[in-house]
């Protein structure tokens, strides 16, 4: 990831979710991987600036993107 985290991350079921300045929502294992830079479990390109903290409910992660005016679930 060549950007910075935007807002506060969310943690649910052993996964950390965070939006980034490169327009992506990322997911990492909460326990890490033992290295300084861990691989992502998943990422979603929202196509626009992340303007909200991720929210988790019923196993769905949602985040808003300013450019596309859509909510994305992971």
Number of domains comprising the chain? 1
DSSP state of 13: T
64 near 52, Cβ under 8 Å? Answer: yes
Q: pLDDT tens, 1-38?
A: 667 887 899 999 999 999 988 888 999 998 888 887 88
| Alpha carbon distance 27, 39 (integer Å) | 9
Residue 10: give its domain's CATH number.
2.40.10.480
CA pair distance 60, 37, nearest whole angstrom: 25
Q: Using one digit for the tens of pLDDT, what is the confidence trace for 34-62?
A: 887 888 999 988 888 887 899 998 888 88
Q: Domain span at residue 39? A: 5-73
């Amino acid at each position: 990831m060549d950007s910075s985290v935007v807002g506060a991350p969310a943690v649910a079921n052993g996964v950390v979710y965070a939006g980034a300045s490169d327009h992506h929502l990322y997911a990492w294992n909460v326990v890490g991987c033992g290295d300084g830079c861990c691989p992502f479990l998943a990422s979603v390109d929202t196509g626009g600036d992340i303007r909200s903290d991720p929210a988790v409910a019923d196993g769905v992660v949602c985040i808003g993107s300013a450019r596309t005016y859509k909510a994305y679930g992971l």
